[in-house]
A and B are shown apart, each in its own frame.
Chain A
């Protein structure tokens, strides 16, 4: 067996084997001391639990996580630089691609920012359509999180249930916008199309059914004894630390901080709608899961109200064909499924923005991972990382 070679690696001249091309030089790893039981564990960039291309290097002492160093940037596309060379309208489809699970929330934040720059009022119907779409998108995103998180934790059945329900939403969004994930539905001043004729019939059918399906999912995964045992008291982050790490969305609310952009930096028609903000007690992994289930219930309530009060009107305001906002700057934030999605747009009065900064929830939520994980067991890593509901293109942008 001694003469077995793997490929032709051993036949390569020693110089070729010894040199590493500059592009593949990896970032230095934290050094583990040779005298203890410490060792380094590399997870990713290609790993099912990372839900995308990211890498964490974990310093382990036995099976206890001593330190964790996240490496991101594998899908960095330099979108903010691209934006500086695109007109305001051309940027809209790019915002979809920052977070493929909440394209609508990203469209919403960006388009609203441009409208603020222009001082453009949109018709009431547009506001209602936007809220309807945003809440449908939130439920679809949370369902996908639930499905994928169930898989992470070894529960396969919730995945099938969640995808069945999510498909209904995605089909509705597809019929309205033409796209399933990257919808590119919003325009400055409104929407590219009106809602299809049978949209409300479908929505009514969905609302009538989904409440019960959600209870099923809740009992199937979040109230499941094995799931509770793996998540209760695991990965705790307190309110003060969560705020300091800039966490937003369900991850922050699980830590007993009642912050929701929809209520605290009100936009669109949210002030006129009644909904509650579910808040967790302990800030552990279970709370982060529970908050998302409750949020879906609240989204259903919002959808019902928006459907009842849905006004007649135009689906698009009379916006100028060429968008040239006056010089100035705005920050437009919306509550996306993962937290505060913000667009900081600086205009110099031309057709292209001077600078666009995207404030993305996953970026800040993920930065808290080392703080949450230190001292836990390696088996908790997947549970904690999944509960943060990361979308990697949103972290890297």
Chain B
């Protein structure tokens, strides 16, 4: 099975879902509330058994955070990317750590670095950052007294 076929199967199962070919792995953008449904479908019906990573992108100009879930299938050796867009303020996304166990740590990391709440997360403590750090470091507008911009390279 190729990635395009996987996306076609997704479109068939979830009409109206937005898919796009992104090099090198095709992607699908889903609303937060149906993320879990899509991942379970991808895992159980299309054999995407491996969650490679979870991360996010901050898009302040669009006022949005974009979550990126990259899946891989050991059976078909195909990758697919699932994206979720949510507003920068009060971003809430359901946890998928019971669908893919590896998501637990990836979500903890993404939560503290981007300021996203993963609802129903089994262990929502901080993972990497010190407890007394304010702000979300990987947001584009993060500032810290020790974070000094280097002079532009020429």
What residues of chain A have their CB less than 8 Å away from a CB belonging to chain B?
22-23, 25, 27, 72-73, 76, 78, 80-81, 85-87, 90, 116, 241, 243-246, 257, 259, 264-265, 328-331, 333, 340, 342, 344, 346, 351, 354-355, 357, 359, 363-364, 367-368, 371, 396-397
- Residues in chain B near residue A246, CB distance under 8 A: 50-53, 100-102, 106
Q: B77 to A264, Cβ gap below 8 A?
A: yes
Given contacts A243-B50, A355-B57, A359-B52, whether A396 and B128 have CB atoms under 8 Å apart is: yes
In the complex, besides A22-B132, A81-B142, A259-B74, 8 extra interface pairs with C-beta distance below 8 angstroms are A23-B130, A80-B138, A246-B51, A257-B74, A330-B24, A342-B53, A355-B58, A357-B68
Which 5 pairs show the lowest CB-CB distances between chains A and B?
A: A246-B102, A73-B128, A359-B53, A357-B55, A76-B128
Q: 1/0 contact trace for B128-140 toward A, CB 8 Å? A: 1111100001100
Q: A90 to B153, Cβ gap below 8 A?
A: yes
**What is the chain A residue whose CB lies nearest that of B49?**
A243
Instruction: Please report whether the interface of chain A is mostly helix, strand, loop or mixed according to DSSP.
Output: mixed
Instruction: Say yes or no: is B41 at the interface (Cβ < 8 Å to chain A).
Output: no
Complex formed: what's the CA distance from A363 to B107 in Å?
Answer: 12
Given contacts A72-B127, A355-B57, A364-B102, whether A78 and B137 have CB atoms under 8 Å apart is: yes
When the two chains form the complex, which single residue of A244, A245, A330, A354 contacts B57, counting CB atoms closer than 8 Å? A354
Nearest Cβ on chain A to B77's Cβ, whole angstroms: 5
Given contacts A87-B153, A330-B23, whether A243 and B128 have CB atoms under 8 Å apart is: no
Instruction: Say yes or no: is B11 at the interface (Cβ < 8 Å to chain A).
Output: no
Q: A331 to B70, Cβ gap below 8 A?
A: yes
- Residues in chain A near residue B68, CB distance under 8 A: 344, 357
- Residues in chain B near residue A244, CB distance under 8 A: 49, 100-102
Complex formed: what's the CA distance from A182 to B50 in Å?
Answer: 31
Nearest Cβ on chain A to B46's Cβ, whole angstroms: 15
**What is the chain A residue whose CB lies nearest that of B22?**
A329
Q: 1/0 contact trace for B105-143 toward A, CB 8 Å? A: 110000001000000000001111111100001100010
